[in-house]
A and B are shown apart, each in its own frame.
Chain A
Amino acid sequence: MMRFILPFVVFMIMAAFMYVGLGLNPREVPSPLVGKAAPAFTLPQLHEPSKQFSPQDMKGKVWLFNVWASWCTACEGEHPLFMELSRKNIVPIYGMDYKDKRENGEAWLRKHGNPYTLVVSDIEGRVGIDYGVYGVPETYLIDKQGIIRHKQIGAVTPEILDETILPLIKELQAK
């Protein structure tokens, strides 16, 4: 008799784990990229495709690299935070328009405001692959040496910004 009840017991234990798992934040996946140099790329700029941008241009500065797209719903949620951040002029924010049509990206920025110092467009998502982009949005904090110090999968929330990202920016800028 015991052996027949065993599948039930095993399943209930698994279900308990899953219940606990639901309360956890799946976005906090450790990224192998944190602590490593930001992958190099050269991409055309969104507004002036003839001009290029590459993370090497940012050596010596602490900066945020935000991956977004006009088709991304969650990006609209975090966007006001970046607008605010850019008004305060704390840190330069660079954007990457991911798998998007150029004109849609431009229109989206016209509509919602443009907090970015500069936006590059990764139309095919190749650079996204290098950065291990799970989904949009994602945000990277990169230090003066070009090392990724923080990776935010999913939308940045006010708590994450205040408790994690901003203190880290101050710390890195002081170095």
Chain B
Amino acid sequence: MIPEIGHFALIVALFLVICLGTLPIIGAARNNAVLMGTTRSLAYGQFVFSTIAFACLTYAFIVNDFSVLYVAQHSNSQLPVVYRVAAVWGGHEGSLLLWVFLLSAWILAVAVYSRHLPEEMVARVLGVMGLIAVGFLLFMLLTSDPFERLLPAAADGRDLNPLLQDPGLVIHPPMLYMGYVGFSVAFAFAIAALLGGRLDATWARWSRPWTTVAWVFMTGGIAIGSWWAYYELGWGGWWFWDPVENASFMPWLIGTALIHSLAVTEKRGAFKSWTVLLAIAAFSLSLMGTFLVRSGVLTSVHSFAADPKRGIFILSFLVIVIGVSLLLFAWRAPKIGLGGKFDLLSRESLLLSNNVLLSVAAASVFIGTLYPLFMDALGQGKLSVGPPYFEAVFVPLMVPMVLMMGLGPLARWKKFTVPELVKRVRWAFASALLIALLLPLTMGKWTAMIALGLLLAFWIVASVLLSLRERLAGHGNLMQRVRGQSLSYYGMQFAHLGVALFIIGVTLVNGYETERDVRMDVGDTVQAGGYEFRFNGVTETQGANYIAAQGRVSVSKNGKPVTELFPEKRQYNVSGMPMTEAAIDTGWLGDLYVSLGEPIPNSNGAWAVRVYIKPFVDWIWAGCLLMALGGVLAISDRRYRIHRETKARNRGMENKSGTGNLLAAEGKQS
């Protein structure tokens, strides 16, 4: 019964979004207040029914309803409850349902937080999002119904793919999807602006926070995926240029460009058509990501469902959505106008160059990902493009980008002169260069790549410090000036520092990592990265729900004990599944990573042992975290709250303090 309710809820949701995708847009075009007035009710309604559908499938998983085909394929009665819930998005149909559910949540959020926008803008934005939802709901109902029954019911489920039974993979897909789907808001704002012919600073200001929120989720989602790959796959790698990783990386790159482009459009009124194009591209790439992952066009470890029929549907959907919006762009963009003028040397042009570099980077990833497909389509045979291509293309693009990234926040709008800027940054750059050249010497190995990576990282740090110094210098109360800077300014600097941390992590782990796979008898030692690892044998221990062969490895440096690591080979009582628990000693300066391979047969307690030294590897994810934190700070900026506060005041609610400040702040911002 419950699955039928879920199925029915999906059909109701489809009808509601069909209305949402048509009535408000027609209303906005005809200036019909009655039609536009339906917008919010429809938005709330479709959320209710998507939620019911999602809840029904979750319920079917929790109660082990193996008469539902999808549940029988992706769950098992012995699966812990948390993984049963996560199994909802463990396969194709459920992933789609998650996508639809998150889209409906974004629609709801826009409906709730758009009270300060003109009605026709709201009508168009939600209408466009409704149309996207129509596509996904149709796709699900026609080709991939998650509620399909299995008669007779299976006695037990086939269990969730063992690869997916991990805490990291419980949160990674929803976060990533929040990002993917979140770009639909920026997209809808862009299309609404094109439809209404109103592309200006106000439009940029409205879509900025939404774009940033989506970007924050995406950053987090990608970082979690990378971290999971590091600790769970046991290869010690954190990025593999797998087609599906690339599918999430491309919209991230374009989204990053979009955030910066929106800033220029808001502040200077420039780049308007470029910003619109980026907004369309970011969401198009998100859709393309879905196409690549779900259609089976590219072979990848991630594509669990490869089905050409679904591929045709997604491709048609892609062509309609992207094709129509690009046509709309071609029709409307020539009338947009150029906006604020700027010189060749200006913050605008630096940001524009960065945008171009980010887009080129995304395009190169795109080519690398789809090249095998293109060659194949042209009858040139099958081939694959691996990390060597991506690294060769990506690094040269990132070098000028990072150099300009340091300059951007320091340069003036409209026009700067080279001598003036050089004079300001020369000490910052010189100190970054000095550190980059000398630091590798103290670490025992100097290569040009390490020095270059460090130069980029320290250049960012130095430019951030310089900017802070310039902003906070002056007489009087320092704390007041610290508080005087906007949160979005701090957000930007945090995000840039995040990039610096990320680069340090990547540079040092690539430059100084050590990996050893050795056979160790009891008492054997192995040297790695200046550490001595001594294998003290394996004992049997009893855990809460498993028995484990627990290795004892004592680590020392220069004869002094550093730590003792306990890698385990566990055998879980209930599932009988063995798991390797690597022992990772995480530190500021890097990870000591030891894991047990297999016991060596016919030996006296010898094991295959992996010993990895990963210097500064955690800085990679710390950097991503800082970037995401920067995004959170930026959206917490009070100018985004002003409207709501003003609105509240207008409603006659009590406003005890800060009225004058708010008005002043509002005046300053506009």
Please, how many angstroms separate the alpha-carbon atoms of A26 and B277 in the complex?
Answer: 31
Is B301 located at the chain interface by the 8 A CB criterion?
yes
Residues of A within 8 A of B601 (CB): 42, 52
B361 to chain A, nearest CB (A): 17
Is B389 located at the chain interface by the 8 A CB criterion?
no
Residues of B within 8 A of A26 (CB): 296-299, 306
A71/B159 in contact, CB under 8 A: yes
Is B382 located at the chain interface by the 8 A CB criterion?
yes
B322/A22 in contact, CB under 8 A: no
Please, how many angstroms separate the alpha-carbon atoms of A129 and B229 in the complex?
Answer: 14
Residue of chain A at shortest CB distance from B73? A73
Which of A22, A23, A42, A154: most chain B CB closer than 10 A? A22
Is B34 located at the chain interface by the 8 A CB criterion?
no
A123/B577 in contact, CB under 8 A: yes
A7/B277 in contact, CB under 8 A: yes
Tally B residues with Cβ within 8 Å of A: 52
Query: For window 55-93 of chain A, which residues contact chain B by CB distance below 8 Å?
Result: 70-71, 73
B330/A7 in contact, CB under 8 A: yes
Contacts A7-B277, A22-B295, A29-B384: A101 and B577 contacting too (C-beta < 8 A)?
yes
Residues of B within 8 A of A104 (CB): 159
Residues of B within 8 A of A30 (CB): 381-384
A102/B329 in contact, CB under 8 A: no
Please, how many angstroms separate the alpha-carbon atoms of A21 and B576 in the complex?
Answer: 42
A4/B330 in contact, CB under 8 A: yes
Residue of chain A at shortest CB distance from B600? A42
Please, how many angstroms separate the alpha-carbon atoms of A126 and B327 in the complex?
Answer: 50
Q: Please pick, from A11, A21, A52, A126, the residue contacting B297 in the complex, using a CB distance under 8 A.
A: A21
Please, how many angstroms separate the alpha-carbon atoms of A61 and B330 in the complex?
Answer: 64
Binary flags per residue of B155-168, CB closer than 8 Å to A gives 1, else 0: 00011011100000
Is B236 located at the chain interface by the 8 A CB criterion?
no
Q: Please pick, from B280, B315, B374, B580, the residue contacting A22 in the complex, using a CB distance under 8 A.
A: B315
Is B489 located at the chain interface by the 8 A CB criterion?
no
Is B427 located at the chain interface by the 8 A CB criterion?
no
Residues of A within 8 A of B273 (CB): 4
Please, how many angstroms separate the alpha-carbon atoms of A19 and B420 in the complex?
Answer: 53
Is B518 located at the chain interface by the 8 A CB criterion?
no
Q: Please pick, from B158, B334, B578, the residue contacting A73 in the complex, using a CB distance under 8 A.
A: B158
Please, how many angstroms separate the alpha-carbon atoms of A104 and B370 in the complex?
Answer: 38
Tally A residues with Cβ within 8 Å of B: 41
A17/B576 in contact, CB under 8 A: no
Query: For window 347-380 of chain B, which residues contact chain A by CB distance below 8 Å?
Result: 370, 372-374, 376-377
Query: For window 285-319 of chain B, which residues contact chain A by CB distance below 8 Å?
Result: 291, 295-301, 304, 306, 308, 311-312, 315, 318-319
Q: Please pick, from A5, A42, A153, the residue contacting B330 in the complex, using a CB distance under 8 A.
A: A5
A71/B161 in contact, CB under 8 A: yes
Residue of chain A at shortest CB distance from B163? A99
Residues of A within 8 A of B196 (CB): none
A123/B578 in contact, CB under 8 A: yes
A68 to chain B, nearest CB (A): 13
Is A40 located at the chain interface by the 8 A CB criterion?
no
Q: Please pick, from A71, A124, A134, the residue contacting B158 in the complex, using a CB distance under 8 A.
A: A71
A50 to chain B, nearest CB (A): 10
Is A24 located at the chain interface by the 8 A CB criterion?
yes
Residues of A within 8 A of B322 (CB): 11, 15
Residue of chain A at shortest CB distance from B569? A124
Residues of A within 8 A of B163 (CB): 99
List 18 A-B residue pairs with CB atoms under 8 Å apart, sorted by A's residue number. A4-B333, A8-B323, A8-B327, A11-B323, A17-B370, A17-B373, A18-B315, A18-B318, A21-B297, A21-B376, A22-B315, A23-B308, A26-B296, A28-B382, A52-B601, A73-B73, A100-B162, A101-B576
Task: Contacts A4-B329, A104-B159, A154-B306 known; list 16 others, CB within 8 Å.
Answer: A4-B273, A4-B334, A14-B370, A15-B319, A17-B377, A18-B315, A18-B318, A19-B315, A24-B373, A26-B298, A29-B372, A70-B158, A71-B161, A73-B158, A135-B301, A135-B304
